[in-house]
């Protein structure tokens, strides 16, 4: 990809900084399947502590971290509840069913506007006449929900619902760092609300690879077994964990700048009537139902002007800010997009 191209498709497109690469090169390593990689062990301990849990496990991807966590809390032939747009049932290629024998049932897609009463009404108890619910999953921030942040009060209410029904609560926290920065909620406060979390280092935090499953010591011991069975046991993974440790140390607070860039983009485009949602974090969803061109036409015209955008549906597109697009690039992208939309 030419450096002049402004890539707003996703925050996964970032490349490691010089500082991150130096940390990777200097990493002390060992064989992590033997539990002997000191940098992986340090990362796992650090992330567990950040979320106030006993343990964490390094995994290659957010999808694998989610699926390991789901297998910990939902036995085969039992049920997971989540929203219809959740990453775990939209973009993980049926993994919960294929690997965990998990049955998934969804509430209508509402992004971050989860209604705990709706969720509570869906829970099915143990019995031979229906699939018993064993876990509820939420996404913080919500990817297809335009980077929306589930308010702390809603999460607390969901915890109460889960406790009452004695089911687990899982958080797909690929971008939980963004929620933490946007709402000022300490990571440990989020951590205390969930039985399991998956968190990603390779989205807004800028690491090339890596996610973690977070939970109790007992769950993470089982998670190690599930990860190996899924082919996710890595060897000298410390070079990757070092990138993650660097990201945690240097790239959390700076997310506020990405949120500000997203807000600027949204503001520039708003007069053209294409903004679907209030932008809270680094994702800018575009609703093109009233625009003069559809999502594919917009993406093609933007590409011709050196700006890459994601097409999510016939009339839905998305822009994502991240550490590899600076303020100047955001201004140039806003110019290109407004020129296209004005035409």
Ligand X SMILES: Cc1ncc(COP(=O)(O)O)c(C=O)c1O
CA 171 to chain centre: 9
Q: Can you tell me which of 14, 23, 44, 63 binds ligand X, judged by CB under 6 A?
A: 63
Minimum distance between the CB of residue 211 and ligand X, rounded to whole angstroms?
6
Asked if residue 200 binds ligand X (CB under 6 A), the reply is yes
Asked if residue 61 binds ligand X (CB under 6 A), the reply is yes
79, 241, 286 from 82: Cα distances, Å: 10, 30, 24
Candidates 60-68, 188-196, 300-308, 315-323: pick the segment binding ligand X (CB under 6 A). 60-68
Could you tell me the two tokens for 91?
Answer: 């973009």
Touching ligand X, residues 155-174 (CB under 6 A): 172, 174
Q: Can you tell me which of 24, 62, 150, 244 binds ligand X, judged by CB under 6 A?
A: 62
x/- string (CB under 6 A) for ligand X, residues 69-98?
------------------x-----------
Helix, strand, or coil here: 66?
Answer: helix
- For residue 108, what are the contacts with CB-CB under 8 A and spacing of at least 6? 83, 84
Asked if residue 32 binds ligand X (CB under 6 A), the reply is no
For residues 188 and 176, what is the distance between their CA atoms, to the nearest angstrom?
Answer: 11
Q: Annotate 246-283 with DSSP letters as a single string.
A: HHHHHSSTTHHHHHHHHHHHHHHHGGGT-B-S---SSE
- For residue 51, what are the contacts with CB-CB under 8 A and spacing of at least 6? 187, 188, 190, 191, 197, 199, 214
Asked if residue 143 binds ligand X (CB under 6 A), the reply is yes
Asked if residue 285 binds ligand X (CB under 6 A), the reply is no
**Site size for ligand X, by CB under 6 A?**
13
Summarize as ranges the residues that interact with ligand X (CB under 6 A). 12, 61-63, 66, 87, 139, 143, 172, 174, 200, 202, 211
């Amino acid at each position: 990809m030419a450096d002049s191209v402004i890539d707003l498709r996703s925050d996964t497109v970032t490349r490691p900084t010089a500082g991150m690469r130096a940390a990777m090169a200097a990493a002390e390593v060992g064989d992590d399947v033997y539990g002997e990689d000191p940098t992986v062990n340090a990362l796992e301990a650090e992330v567990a502590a950040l979320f106030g849990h006993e343990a964490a496990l390094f995994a290659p991807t957010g999808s694998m971290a989610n699926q390991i966590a789901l297998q910990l809390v939902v036995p085969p032939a039992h049920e997971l509840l989540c929203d219809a747009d959740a990453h775990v049932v939209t973009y993980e290629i049926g993994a919960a069913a294929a690997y965990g024998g998990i049955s998934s049932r969804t509430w209508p897609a509402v992004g971050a506007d989860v209604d705990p009463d709706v969720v509570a009404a869906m829970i099915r108890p143990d019995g031979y006449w229906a699939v018993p619910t064993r876990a509820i999953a939420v996404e913080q921030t919500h990817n297809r929900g335009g980077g929306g942040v589930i308010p702390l009060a809603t999460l607390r209410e969901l915890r109460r619902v889960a406790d009452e029904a004695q089911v687990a609560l899982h958080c797909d926290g690929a971008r939980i760092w963004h929620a933490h920065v946007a709402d000022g909620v300490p990571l440990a406060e989020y951590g205390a609300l969930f039985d399991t979390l998956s968190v990603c280092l390779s989205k807004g935090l800028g690491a090339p690879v890596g996610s973690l499953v977070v939970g109790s010591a007992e769950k993470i011991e089982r998670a190690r077994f599930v990860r190996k069975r899924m082919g996710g046991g890595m060897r000298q993974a410390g070079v990757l964990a070092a990138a993650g440790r660097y990201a945690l140390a240097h790239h959390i607070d700076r997310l506020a700048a990405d949120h500000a860039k997203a807000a600027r983009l949204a503001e520039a485009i708003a007069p053209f009537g294409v903004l679907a949602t209030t932008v809270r974090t680094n994702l800018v969803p575009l609703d093109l139902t009233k625009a003069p061109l559809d999502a594919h036409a917009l993406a093609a015209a933007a590409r011709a002007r050196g700006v890459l955008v994601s097409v999510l549906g016939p009339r839905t597109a998305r822009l994502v800010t991240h550490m590899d697009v600076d303020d100047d690039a955001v201004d140039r992208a806003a110019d290109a997009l407004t020129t296209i939309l004005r035409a």
